[in-house]
């Protein structure tokens, strides 16, 4: 086993921590770009908390509202131009993962004085960027503690990204109470996103990863236990706090240490999201059981057995094949019955018009998956999920 692990993001966790935002960012400069999505942060008080703290610290800020759920490249370019024109010192994301990703991309594009499209297409490792600070409002993507940002290229109809050590947020403020007003569907989809990130790391061919497997199983059990509670009881602090803390650890690199790290679900979902602009977590959840059945074989059976026993408590004395099938059934029950996520792609607006393009795009990233998949394999998964 060999790996490098470094997460430079500081985390302020707990109810009321955002009051420290202003004094935390002040040493980095006096001009900020505040990035957010719709009007929800103004309705739930997050905007007032953020701006009050900035005012108290004497911070001048400019605003970029209207970030899309799947942030688009031209929104990023609009943001970095604001930064350039006004001498902005850092970017503050107030929202969920889309806002955070957009803010990271803005920070990179500003530092490189370049359209984010150019950075995405050149696969430039991001070694410089404006500091990014995060006020999180949704437990889902884990972008509050990682070095990547996913952006939609509406010209080529695909999702790409910018990645590099400079994109790790400087400080993330995680207040569980800011997630109390998240709608049920977004809570469910966010939980599915955390779950999928963990599955991507966990289902791996490496067999000497006992410690990180245990951490991954803890994250999965956290989603199974607290996701349904948060959906039904949105102001349950224990559920919201546990999901909010589980989210970054699913994707900040820890549970990927020592693995081969060939992801499969995200390369399939990303082109779906680019074509149909639907909720990321929904797509991941719908694809997941079909992908599981496609990759289950004698060589991968061991992982499904481990998953079923350690995450869902299935009797280890059962036949291994029965455990694997029960584990997939438990996954479906969790995602579709307990969280209430739609079961089919057609329910989230996907039709059969672009399956070939989606499969072709997805297959380019699946050569190193848990089980390598071809375009034809992806088409089979998509048609069953439709």
**pLDDT confidence of residue 365:** 84
User: In terms of Cα–Cα distance, which of 198, 169, 145, 187 is closest to 341?
Assistant: 187
* pTM, rounded to two decimals: 0.96
pLDDT average, residue stretch 205-210: 91
List pLDDT tens digits, range 339-376: 999 999 999 999 999 999 999 999 998 988 899 999 99
Contact predicate 247/192, CB 8 Å: no
Q: Which two tokens stand for residue 216?
A: 């991954």
Q: Could you give the CA distance from residue 75 to residue 79 in angstroms, rounded to a whole number?
A: 6
**pLDDT confidence of residue 158:** 84
Cβ neighbours for 333, distance < 8 A, ≥ 6 positions apart: none
List pLDDT tens digits, range 68-112: 999 999 999 999 999 999 999 999 999 999 999 999 999 999 999
Measured between alpha carbons, how far apart are the two ends of the chain, in Å?
39
Q: Could you give the CA distance from residue 263 to residue 379 in angstroms, rounded to a whole number?
A: 17
**pLDDT confidence of residue 117:** 93
Q: Is 279 exposed, middle or buried (0-12, 13-18, 19+ CB in 10 A)?
A: buried
Q: Could you give the CA distance from residue 210 to residue 212 in angstroms, rounded to a whole number?
A: 6
Q: Which two tokens stand for residue 25?
A: 């960012």
**pLDDT confidence of residue 377:** 96
Three-state DSSP class for 43?
A: helix
Q: Could you give the CA distance from residue 47 to residue 52 in angstroms, rounded to a whole number?
A: 8
Q: Could you give the CA distance from residue 242 to residue 194 in angstroms, rounded to a whole number?
A: 12
**pLDDT confidence of residue 260:** 87
CA dist 324 to 202, 328, 329, Å? 15, 6, 9
Domains of the chain with CATH codes: 10-178 (3.40.50.1970), 184-385 (1.20.1090.10)
% of the chain residues with pLDDT over 70: 100
In the 8-state DSSP scheme, what is residue 317? T
pLDDT average, residue stretch 20-34: 98
Q: Is 87 exposed, middle or buried (0-12, 13-18, 19+ CB in 10 A)?
A: exposed
Q: Which two tokens stand for residue 312?
A: 């869902």
**pLDDT confidence of residue 368:** 87
**pLDDT confidence of residue 167:** 97
pLDDT average, residue stretch 281-305: 97
Quick one: how many helices (H) and strands (E) in the chain?
Answer: 15, 8
List pLDDT tens digits, range 210-233: 999 999 999 999 999 999 999 999
User: In terms of Cα–Cα distance, which of 319, 330, 382 is closest to 356?
Assistant: 382
**pLDDT confidence of residue 160:** 87
**pLDDT confidence of residue 367:** 87
pLDDT average, residue stretch 125-140: 97
**pLDDT confidence of residue 288:** 98
Q: Could you give the CA distance from residue 363 to residue 139 in angstroms, rounded to a whole number?
A: 29
- Checking if the pLDDT of 145 tops 80, the result is yes
- Checking if the pLDDT of 159 tops 90, the result is no
Three-state DSSP class for 173?
A: strand
Q: Which two tokens stand for residue 261?
A: 């790290």
Q: Which two tokens stand for residue 26?
A: 């002040």
In the 8-state DSSP scheme, what is residue 371? S
- Checking if the pLDDT of 39 tops 90, the result is no
List pLDDT tens digits, range 41-73: 999 999 999 999 999 999 999 999 999 999 999
């Amino acid at each position: 086993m060999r790996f490098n692990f470094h997460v430079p993001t500081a985390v302020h966790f707990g109810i009321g921590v955002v009051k420290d935002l202003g004094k935390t960012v002040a040493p980095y400069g006096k001009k900020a770009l505040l990035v957010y999505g719709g009007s929800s942060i103004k309705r739930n008080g997050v905007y007032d908390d953020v701006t009050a703290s900035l005012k108290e610290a004497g911070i001048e800020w400019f605003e970029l509202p209207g970030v899309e759920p799947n942030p688009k490249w031209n929104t990023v370019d609009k943001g970095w131009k604001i930064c350039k024109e006004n001498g902005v010192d850092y970017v503050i994301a107030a929202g969920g993962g889309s806002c955070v990703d957009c803010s990271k991309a803005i920070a990179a594009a500003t530092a490189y004085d370049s359209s984010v499209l150019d950075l995405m297409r050149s696969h430039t490792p991001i070694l410089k960027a404006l500091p990014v600070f995060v006020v999180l409002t949704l437990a889902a993507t884990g972008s509050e503690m990682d070095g990547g940002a996913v952006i939609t290229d509406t010209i080529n109809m695909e999702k790409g990204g910018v990645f590099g050590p400079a994109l790790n947020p400087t400080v993330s403020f995680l207040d569980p109470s800011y997630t109390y007003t998240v709608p049920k569907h977004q809570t469910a989809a966010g939980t599915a996103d955390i779950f999928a990130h963990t599955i991507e790391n966990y289902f791996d061919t490496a067999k000497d990863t006992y410690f990180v497997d245990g951490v991954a199983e803890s994250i999965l059990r956290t989603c199974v236990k607290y996701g349904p509670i948060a959906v039904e009881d949105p102001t349950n602090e224990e559920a919201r706090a546990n999901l909010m803390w589980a989210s970054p650890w699913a994707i900040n690199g820890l549970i990927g240490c020592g693995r081969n790290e060939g992801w499969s679900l995200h390369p399939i979902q990303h082109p779906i999201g680019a074509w149909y602009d639907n909720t990321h977590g929904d797509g991941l959840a719908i694809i997941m059981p079909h992908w599981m059945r496609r990759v289950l074989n004698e060589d991968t059976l061991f992982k499904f057995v481990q998953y079923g026993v350690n995450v869902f408590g299935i009797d280890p004395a059962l036949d291994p094949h029965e455990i694997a099938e029960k584990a997939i059934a438990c996954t479906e029950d969790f995602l579709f019955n307990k969280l209430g996520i739609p079961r089919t792609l057609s329910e989230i607006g996907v039709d059969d018009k672009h399956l070939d393009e989606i499969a072709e795009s997805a297959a380019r990233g699946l050569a190193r998956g848990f089980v390598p998949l071809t375009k034809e394999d992806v088409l089979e998964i998509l048609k069953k999920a439709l």
